[in-house]
Amino acid sequence: MGGDKSLVVHGVAVRAVSEINSADYDALVLVTAPGVAPPQALEDFVAAARLVDASLDKNAAVLACPRVSGGRLVLAPTGPLTAYDDVRSVGEAALAGVRRAAAAGAVRPALALQPHPTWPNAELVALLGALEALYVPLQIRESFPAQAHGLRALGVYGEGVRVPLDELLRDAAALELSRGVARDIGGADPERMAPGAVARYVQELFAGTSVKVRVLDDAAAIEKNYPLMAAVNRAAATVDRHRGCVIYLEYVPESYERTVMLVGKGVTYDTGGCDIKAGGVMAGMSRDKCGAAAVAGFLRACDLLRPALKVVAALGMVRNSVGEQAYVADELLRSRRGLAVRVGNTDAEGRMVMGDLLAEMAERAAGERAPHLYTVATLTGHAVRAYGEGYTAAVDNHAARGHASALQAAGAALADMLEVSTLRREDLAAHRGRVAGDHVHQADNAASSAMPRGHQAPAAFLLLVAGLEAGALAYTHLDVAGSAGCLPAPPTAAPLLALAAHYGLVRSKRDA
């Protein structure tokens, strides 16, 4: 925060303002919702406008209004709300409102924040939605800057907000900058964010910060320590820029009582391998690195917000390519823990990338304080089929049971939605060895969306490979295939906000 108490988010100055008609801004964005009165100075104006145009409660509009900055009032309605709606409606309206202001020619809009009677964190969610409008994709910034939006500043006005405005700004700015990291990594194309490029981006991002970075890109060391990942990497490793790596991140505050241990799936492009994705379904597979991207973003949030929480992460960055060195179905591999793993489908590479990394985290957990292990991955089409777009599937092991529900509640408060799934005996049975001498069956040779329990069972594979089916180590698998953002939609950084809310990074958050 500078001397003028402004922040810079994605190159745009963000600052609190004390009036709705500040001369420093050229439009005012007002999110409207049923049961929420506009700021007092605008109540009669908005009421009169609604008498003229009933659609103002459904569609964003720009009205000439001499009472606000720039004489432009942008009404951004949530639309009608029912008992089944949630705080996402507020964030979506704020995002649409800032974009509408920009389309109208505003370059310095202000946003009016108001509390909502149903959603205690509506102000923070609205601010996050507005800040999202400031983000410009990495490759547009680098190669096509003329196509970027022209916004130069964002003012934030609060009337009746339940927490100090400077706290809201601080938290929202940090979270949006962190989501920007996840969007940069997850949204860039397979060449701009090939494994080594991701490593360089992360090293530059965290240079001189509280987060330590280490990169392992030696093929022999990966083969020795993470043989399942090494199998996926074999075909890609023949092309230098596609060669896989592991990125280790660690944030350790002076005082902490809990440890979060995260493994992120970072498949920079997924062809399906020898079980190739045919029929036009390969497009969009550059987003298969969004799990690792979200984990990197969460570490950025830890650096900016400094929670009393130790965080250890491993990002498995690899490309699932096709070639003469590619791994194939029927191969029998020896895992880090010495298990015989039979490959059934090379398009089930995500669990292979994460399995040995998770096993290593389980080994390390014995020396950590109150550890909780996670895998975060765009893992299965079944998660999308089961819950739809916009929802993360959360699966606890026996020792973590109940944690997914707590994470679901934390995410819902900040519009980062999760659904809770349960591991059953059938899931473990589906991945026990089927050939004499095999310990683990990797996958059936069919799409997960066509399989019963197609997103729960892969969590069981990870459980078995890492040795987490027994004992007291808490583990939660987060399948973000439905929530991470599929092309052409932008990456979302899910489940970054849910993790941040659950682990106390958001100091301005109000519990529902």
Residues designated catalytic: 277, 351
Q: Do residues 24 and 119 lie in contact, with contact meaning Cβ atoms separated by under 8 Å? A: no
Of 498, 406, 478, nearest in space to 87 by CA: 498
Q: Do residues 159 and 147 lie in contact, with contact meaning Cβ atoms separated by under 8 Å? A: no
Q: Do residues 473 and 370 lie in contact, with contact meaning Cβ atoms separated by under 8 Å? A: no
| Strand 340-342, strand 332-334: pairing | antiparallel
Q: Do residues 245 and 196 lie in contact, with contact meaning Cβ atoms separated by under 8 Å? A: yes
Of 150, 140, 64, 159, nearest in space to 108 by CA: 150
Strands (E), 22-89: 27-32, 61-64, 72-77
Both tokens assigned to 467: 């040795």
HSE at residue 75, side-chain half, CA atoms within 13 A, is: 26
C-alpha–C-alpha distance, residues 310 and 473, integer Å: 16
Q: Do residues 354 and 292 lie in contact, with contact meaning Cβ atoms separated by under 8 Å? A: no
End-to-end CA distance of the chain: 29
Using N-to-C axis directions, what is the helix angle for 122-132 and 165-187, rounded to 10°? 40
Distances 471 to 337, 362, 405, 429, 457 between C-alpha atoms, Å: 16, 11, 21, 18, 19
Q: How would you list the strands of the sheet with 418-422, edge to edge?
A: 211-216, 245-251, 310-320, 259-270, 371-377, 474-479, 392-396, 418-422
- HEC string of 351-417? HHHHHHHHHHHHHHHCCCCCEEEEEEECCCHHHHHHHCCCCEEEEECHHHCCHHHHHHHHHHHCCCC
C-alpha–C-alpha distance, residues 475 and 373, integer Å: 5
Of 104, 26, 22, 24, nearest in space to 60 by CA: 104
HSE at residue 342, side-chain half, CA atoms within 13 A, is: 16
Q: What is the CA radius of gyration of the chain?
A: 24
